[in-house]
Homo-oligomer: A and B are copies of this chain.
Amino acid sequence: MAVEPVRRPGRPRSEDARHAVLTATLELAAESGPAGLTMGGIAERAGVSKETLYRWWHSKTEVVLEALAHYGDEAIPVPDTGSLAKDLRVFMRATSKALDHRTRQLLRTLAAQSAADPTFADQVREEFIARRRAALAEVLERAVKRGELAPARAAVTVDFVFGSLWYRLIFGVGSLDRAWADAVADSVPGSTAEP
């Protein structure tokens, strides 16, 4: 049974255009940051008309969201070493490693738009934030089942990890390097003992 063999009439959406837009967004975000990322700029860089841009994405945030989703979907795998301490280490270090310049710029763009507009915040939360939370929650869930972690603590831990990340990213309060990753991993009770 084919999943979607239907072909609607009319010229089909150009995959080239879509790809060019997402690529241009990543490039521009990396180069100029949130402030320099404009719809007109993306369109020009991508060799795409503004109308096409607005047809498929209703705002800058949506473009960034999709660009980021495409780029970083498998960057951080969900580890399963059998030990919470090790799992957290792996997860945090992978997270830290994924935060290169380009990604930080994209995330800052996401944060800026989300802070300014609750509607977009909802979208970002559901389509991006939730995925990351789920990945970490999976790791913690296993630890809870093994009795390594109190259930109540699992919940706040997710906030802790990502809260720290965004807080530092947005306000520049401290680094997001490997030292940070390890410090965060170690601070989760029950994972401190075995370094």
Contacts and interface: CB of A to CB of B under 8 A. Distances in A.
Interface of A: 33-35, 108-109, 111-118, 121-122, 124-125, 129, 133, 152-153, 155-156, 159-160, 162-174, 183-184, 187, 189
A44 B110 CA distance: 30
A173 B189 contact: no
Contacts of A189: 189
Contacts of A118: 33, 172
A15 B180 CA distance: 45
A121 B166 contact: no
Nearest to A124: B171
Contacts of A187: 152-153, 156, 160
Most B CB contacts (10 A, CB to CB) among A34, A116, A170, A183 go to: A170
Given A108-B116, A159-B164, A167-B167, A172 B121 contact: yes
A28 to B, nearest CB: 14
A118 B165 CA distance: 16
A111 B115 contact: yes
A140 to B, nearest CB: 13
A114 B159 CA distance: 21
